[in-house]
């Protein structure tokens, strides 16, 4: 018995329409019938594709400003029915439910809406209901159904179809299912944590955590340990949002020390004083404040120049050429600052392995939630 199942019908309903037209065209060329909703259906039709509205499948129009459109047995039956179960097949036939072999959904941009500082009601309207329900249904029935929640998986899906003559393998569907459940978990985490913050609940009864993989790491704190770096999608300044301008990839210890360096130097308002922090193994080697950045750097470095060897240097103001010249005379791993003068960056290029991280404007600091495991 083969684990391959053909894809004959797809439901496409996406908020982020990146690559939607190309995916719709590729599926249509492979003989896949397209179902869609609202703006996704319009975009596909405008591109000349034949699309069937979900409302034609459910027998109900989209209503309540789009809050209700896919929450119907005509959709969920098509996603959840076991194709090898006679009772399920009979129920589909009795109720005119069609099989849906592929679900392509990405959710309302709740995280992005929160990050923009939208008001409470706007955030509420950007909580997706039908999308997560369909994703979970399709993911549960991965024995037969494919569910794609990430734009970057469109090409992988098409390659799988080509490799298997229009079908997909069990392993492929399971991998898609895992990604799908991770996405809905992260989405629910974002919503619940936002509501806790909106209600000023410092310690809600349940606290969920989720993140997107930013990079895999060669090893963890020690060489025999594995590690990966995840970000939670928030726009709070720090190592997770920093832009690396040059140097080698960050290691676990680099990330840990850089976070400590940033958190320390960010305690000082750059409008009031220049500040420099030098960190090694998560411990301060030297910290100084003052008016002149070069003088502040020198005082921080000389507090314990031996321990500062191979350390992390963080500034709360723009790094100048004079400071860059001073730094390049010693060995350091990372330099972190809100910004860098162009001349300073040219000077740092002499040390090609030196990692340069640009944070951007510090802005108003907000509380940091720390999780220890």
pLDDT at position 358, please?
94
Task: Return the SS3 of 221.
Answer: coil
Alpha-carbon gap, residue 37 to 40, rounded angstroms: 6
Alpha-carbon gap, residue 288 to 303, rounded angstroms: 9
State pLDDT tens for residues 3-26: 899 999 999 999 889 999 999 999
pLDDT at position 101, please?
96
Among all residues, which ones are annotated catalytic?
Answer: 140, 281
State pLDDT tens for residues 12-63: 999 889 999 999 999 999 999 999 988 899 999 999 999 998 888 877 777 6
Per-range mean pLDDT, top range of 190-204, 229-243, 358-372:
190-204
User: With bands split at pLDDT 50, 70 and 90, how would you rate the model's confidence at 202?
Assistant: confident
pLDDT at position 37, please?
87
pLDDT at position 1, please?
42
Q: What value does the mean pLDDT of the chain take? A: 89
The fraction of the chain above a pLDDT of 70, given in percent, is 96
Q: Which residues pair with 302 in a beta bridge?
A: none
pLDDT at position 229, please?
86
Average pLDDT value for residue range 55-80:
78
Average pLDDT value for residue range 318-328:
94
pLDDT at position 142, please?
96
- Position 293 pLDDT exceeds 70: yes
Half-sphere exposure of residue 277, counting CA atoms within 13 Å on the CB side? 22
User: With bands split at pLDDT 50, 70 and 90, how would you rate the model's confidence at 149?
Assistant: very high
Helices (H) and strands (E) in the chain, counts: 14, 15
pLDDT at position 57, please?
80
Q: Interior CA angle at 260 toward 257 and 265, to 5°?
A: 125
How far CA 218 is from CA of 225, 241, 246, in Å, comes to 9, 20, 19
Point out the least confidently predicted range of 146-150, 269-273, 358-362. 358-362
pLDDT at position 2, please?
66
Q: Say if CB 280 and CB 300 are below 8 A apart.
A: no
Q: What is the DSSP letter of 289?
A: E
Task: Kindly report the pTM of this predicted structure.
Answer: 0.76
State pLDDT tens for residues 99-138: 999 999 998 888 888 888 899 999 999 888 889 999 999 9
Higher pLDDT, 308 or 177: 177
Contacts 24+ apart (CB under 8 A), 214-221: 214/240, 215/249, 215/250, 217/250, 217/251, 217/252, 217/255, 218/251, 219/251, 219/252, 220/252, 221/252, 221/253, 221/256
User: With bands split at pLDDT 50, 70 and 90, how would you rate the model's confidence at 74?
Assistant: confident
Q: Which two tokens stand for residue 17?
A: 């329409």
Higher pLDDT, 1 or 180: 180
Task: Return the SS3 of 268.
Answer: coil
Q: Say if CB 32 and CB 148 are below 8 A apart.
A: no
- Position 203 pLDDT exceeds 90: no
pLDDT at position 367, please?
60
Average pLDDT value for residue range 161-165:
94
């Amino acid at each position: 018995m083969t684990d391959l199942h053909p894809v004959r019908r797809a439901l496409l309903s996406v908020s982020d329409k990146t690559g939607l037209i190309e995916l719709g065209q590729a599926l249509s060329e492979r003989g896949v019938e397209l179902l869609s909703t609202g703006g996704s259906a319009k975009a596909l039709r405008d591109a000349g594709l034949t699309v069937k509205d979900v409302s034609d499948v459910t027998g109900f129009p989209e209503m309540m400003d789009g809050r209700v459109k896919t929450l119907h047995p005509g959709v969920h039956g098509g996603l959840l029915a076991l194709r090898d179960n006679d009772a399920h097949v009979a129920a589909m036939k009795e109720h005119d439910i069609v099989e849906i072999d592929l679900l392509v959904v990405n959710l309302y941009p709740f995280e992005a809406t929160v990050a923009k500082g939208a008001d409470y009601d706007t955030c509420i309207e950007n909580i997706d209901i039908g999308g997560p329900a369909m994703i979970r249904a399709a993911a549960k029935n991965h024995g037969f159904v494919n569910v794609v929640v990430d734009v970057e998986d469109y090409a992988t899906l098409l390659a799988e179809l080509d490799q298997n003559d229009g079908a997909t393998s069990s392993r492929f569907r399971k991998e898609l299912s895992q990604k799908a459940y991770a996405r809905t978990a992260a989405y629910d985490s974002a919503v619940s944590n936002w509501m806790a913050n909106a209600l000023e609940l410092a310690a809600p009864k349940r606290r969920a955590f989720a993140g997107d993989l930013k990079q895999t790491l060669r090893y963890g704190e020690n060489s025999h340990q594995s590690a990966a770096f995840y970000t939670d999608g928030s726009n709070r300044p720090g190592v997770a949002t920093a832009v690396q301008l040059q140097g080698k990839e960050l290691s676990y210890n680099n990330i840990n020390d850089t976070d400590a360096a940033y958190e320390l130097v960010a305690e000082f308002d750059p409008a009031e004083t220049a500040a420099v922090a030098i960190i090694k193994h998560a411990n301060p080697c030297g910290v100084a404040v003052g008016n002149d950045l070069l003088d502040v750097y020198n005082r921080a470095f000389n507090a314990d120049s031996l321990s500062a060897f191979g350390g992390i240097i963080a500034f709360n103001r723009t790094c100048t050429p004079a400071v860059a010249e001073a730094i390049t005379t010693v060995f350091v791993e990372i330099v972190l600052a809100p910004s860098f003068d162009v001349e300073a960056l040219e000077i740092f290029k002499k040390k090609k392995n030196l990692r340069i991280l640009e944070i951007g404007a510090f802005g108003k600091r907000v509380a940091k939630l720390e999780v220890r495991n």
